[in-house]
Structure 1
Amino acid sequence: MVMRVATFAQSDLMITNALRVQAVMANEQEQESSGLKSQDFGGYGSSAGQVVNLQVSVTRSQSYIDAAQLADNKVQVMYSAVGSMTDIITQLRTQLSAATTGSSTATASVINYAQQALSQMGATLNTQYNGEYIFGGADTDAAPADLTSFATGTGSLTTADTSYYKGDSEIASVRVSDSQTVSYGVTADNPAFEQVMRLLKFVGNSTTLTSSNITQALDLASTALDSVSTVQAKLSTSASQIETASASQTDYQNFTQTLSGDLTNVDVAAVTAQLATYQTQLTASYSAIAKIQSLSLASYLK
């Protein structure tokens, strides 16, 4: 039998195919180690734009979560501070009630308490969080309450006085989504706080308290307590809104990351199985190439 030995074309074709399989294997080995379909957006083809948009939306969502967390922390500090104010006004009202008996001791006690409480109230209004004054509006670098001039004289139980306030009128707010902003701030000149300050100033700077004064002071104390409680309730509502919005963003992130994962992640088990198949194919290809390349006319004619 006559046989024509021509190996070049066959060898070249088989080597080309083997190199192609090797390139595919290299790509799948990278997928197996990283768990991703591609290390760059070009490898995602027509899905690249969608992958980019999903990743951008996740980053934006995280910025909302971070902002909400910071705002929520501030609200918690505000809530605690206002709670301290509630304690101050509650104690003052208790001592004013005791002074209605006309006891000089009870009267002296409430005056002394009001003096101390006024200083405490000023410190509370100058509460800071993370180095910023939280009751000064947008002016977070300077203490919003200055009692230097305010604390002199008795003032009036009926006329509002916010001369102690050095901040601005900006109410803090936080954007928690593309379409939602939550206002949560409260400034030190809030009417509820002003009522407490006015009452403490009057009582604390009085040399004596008449029965009429005490009655008026008790009425203002009750009003102030209700007002401060309302402020605290609003802060609680703001905190709830912020936390709900943050939770929604977290849910959105989870959903978006799942969608993104469907586009970018590979089934590692399937890739591993495919690699085993390619490895077998490649081994067979190189074996065949070696066999063909070992053939020559001289060896055939022997």
Structure 2
Amino acid sequence: MSIIGSIGNLAVDQAALRLRLDTASRQVSTGQKAQVYGDLRPEARRAIDLRGEVARREAYANAADRALARADATQTVLGRLQEIAATVGAEALRAKTMATTGAEALARTAAAALAEVAALLNTRHGGEYLFGGSDVTAPPVPDAENVTTGPMATAITASVATLDATNAATVLADTVTAATDAATSPFSAFLEGAGTTEATRAVQVADGERVQIGVFANRGQDGEVVASWGRELLRNLAVMAAVTPALAAEGGGWSGLMDSVASAMGVAATSLANEQAMLGAAQQRIGAVSDRHQDTLVALRTQLGSVEEVDLAQAAAEMSLLKLRLEASYEATGMLSRLSLAALLR
């Protein structure tokens, strides 16, 4: 073979070496075997399938994390509401025996609790209201700031003011009407309409597996609307906020009114505890599914790494070797070029 032919062969080899060196350099830089799936043949299909499964599991795990954060925020509010129901309910029983002094203190305590409950029911997490059902952009209690003087409280105050020795049952019935009638209800039009029957919010945590995490301000965990814990809290707190020393001094229906309020607050506290328990069970279920996703993701990413990622130490060693071979080839080309020039000059 002539010197010119040898130089040509070296040039072809050098082009191939440069291509391999470029590939090795990119692999060392990125840690990936290839830039496109086509270069992963025959493992391209497996890589695509693994990436799809990783994305699917990540989506479920992220949804579970968001749901758990929302449930945690909801649990905090429910805990405080349960505390208010138990505490103020006990205050009603104490006020029953303390006459005028108890009535005055009870009214102040209940008014403050009423404002707090309304504000708590309007709690938001991640920019969404927690207790408004699917209407996440509107507050469940539209006029929470003025709930102590709003239509429900005003109507209840007027009813309580008529209390005498014979009409406690009528007064209580009127307060229920004030808390449920569309004109005086403290809840949003959505909650008093479609929100009374819509499905509870749930999160998709796996294929074919949804877990309910929604809690409605106007519905109990058993679906009860009229006597739901939220409505009973607001109604009975408004009743207690409306009492006066004069009503307590009059006697008559005072004892029956306080017994009814204390009983209703106890039922609300129990309902809230049940709500917390159900949500806690949902959290445990979501957490368990999330853990399974995370464990599976570790295995999937390991498999994907074996398909797509390079051994950096091996790739770096190969790159160094290719550089040496390419440099040697260049030197050989230079030497042959000099020999060819010398032959031409002879």
DSSP 3-state at the match of 1:247: helix
Check conservation: 1:156, 1:198, Cα contact below 8 A: no
Quick check: 281-290 or 268-277, which moved more? 281-290
Check conservation: 1:102, 1:211, Cα contact below 8 A: no
Seen in structure 2, the aligned counterparts of structure 1 residues 205 and 272 have a Cα distance that, compared at 3 Å, is: same
Could you list the per-position Cα deviations for residues 103-130 of structure 1 after superposition, in whole angstroms to 9, with x for gaps in the alignment?
3211332233223322222222122223
Seen in structure 2, the aligned counterparts of structure 1 residues 242 and 301 have a Cα distance that, compared at 3 Å, is: closer
Quick check: 290-299 or 84-93, which moved more? 290-299
Question: Does residue 230 of structure 2 align to residue 193 of structure 1?
Answer: yes
User: Runs (4+) of structure 1 moved beyond 6 Å?
Assistant: none
Check conservation: 2:172, 2:257, Cα contact below 8 A: no
**How far has the Cα of 1:298 moved from its partner?**
7.2
Aligned with 2:241 (options 204, 207, 231):
204
Question: Does residue 44 of structure 2 align to residue 75 of structure 1?
Answer: no
CA distance in 2, matches of 1:24, 1:7: 26
> 1:85-164 counterparts in 2 under 5 A?
85-146=81-142, 147=147, 148-151=150-153, 152-153=155-156, 154=159, 156=172, 161-162=179-180, 163-164=185-186
Seen in structure 2, the aligned counterparts of structure 1 residues 288 and 175 have a Cα distance that, compared at 3 Å, is: same
Seen in structure 2, the aligned counterparts of structure 1 residues 206 and 299 have a Cα distance that, compared at 3 Å, is: closer
Aligned with 1:283 (options 327, 330, 337):
327
Check conservation: 1:125, 1:145, Cα contact below 8 A: yes
Aligned with 2:296 (options 225, 238, 252):
252
Check conservation: 1:74, 1:129, Cα contact below 8 A: yes
TM-score, normalising length: structure 1: 0.86
DSSP 3-state at the match of 1:103: helix
Check conservation: 1:176, 1:245, Cα contact below 8 A: yes
TM-score, normalising length: structure 2: 0.76
DSSP 3-state at the match of 1:182: strand
Seen in structure 2, the aligned counterparts of structure 1 residues 300 and 196 have a Cα distance that, compared at 3 Å, is: closer
Question: Does residue 30 of structure 2 align to residue 8 of structure 1?
Answer: no
Could you list the per-position Cα deviations for residues 175-212 of structure 1 after superposition, in whole angstroms to 9, with x for gaps in the alignment?
22333222111111122222222322333334535222
Structure with more helix by fraction: 2
Check conservation: 1:192, 1:231, Cα contact below 8 A: no
Report the counterpart of residue 48 of structure 1 in structure 2.
44
Question: Does residue 28 of structure 2 align to residue 32 of structure 1?
Answer: yes
Report the RMSD for the aligned CA atoms in angstroms.
2.8
CA distance in 2, matches of 1:298, 1:32: 42
Gaps of 5+ in 2: 160-170, 220-227, 249-253
What is the identity, as a one-letter code, of the residue corresponding to 2:151? S
DSSP 3-state at the match of 2:97: coil
Number of positions where the alignment pairs a residue of Structure 1 with one of Structure 2 = 298
Report the counterpart of residue 187 of structure 2 in structure 1.
165
DSSP 3-state at the match of 1:101: helix
Report the counterpart of residue 294 of structure 1 in structure 2.
338
Q: Percent identity?
A: 25
Quick check: 216-225 or 132-141, which moved more? 216-225
**How far has the Cα of 1:262 moved from its partner?**
0.7
DSSP 3-state at the match of 1:261: helix
Quick check: 232-241 or 188-197, which moved more? 232-241
> 1:211-290 counterparts in 2 under 5 A?
211-290=255-334
**How far has the Cα of 1:79 moved from its partner?**
1.4
**How far has the Cα of 1:132 moved from its partner?**
2.5
CA distance in 2, matches of 1:230, 1:79: 11
**How far has the Cα of 1:300 moved from its partner?**
9.6
Gaps of 5+ in 1: none
What is the identity, as a one-letter code, of the residue corresponding to 1:285? S
DSSP 3-state at the match of 1:188: coil
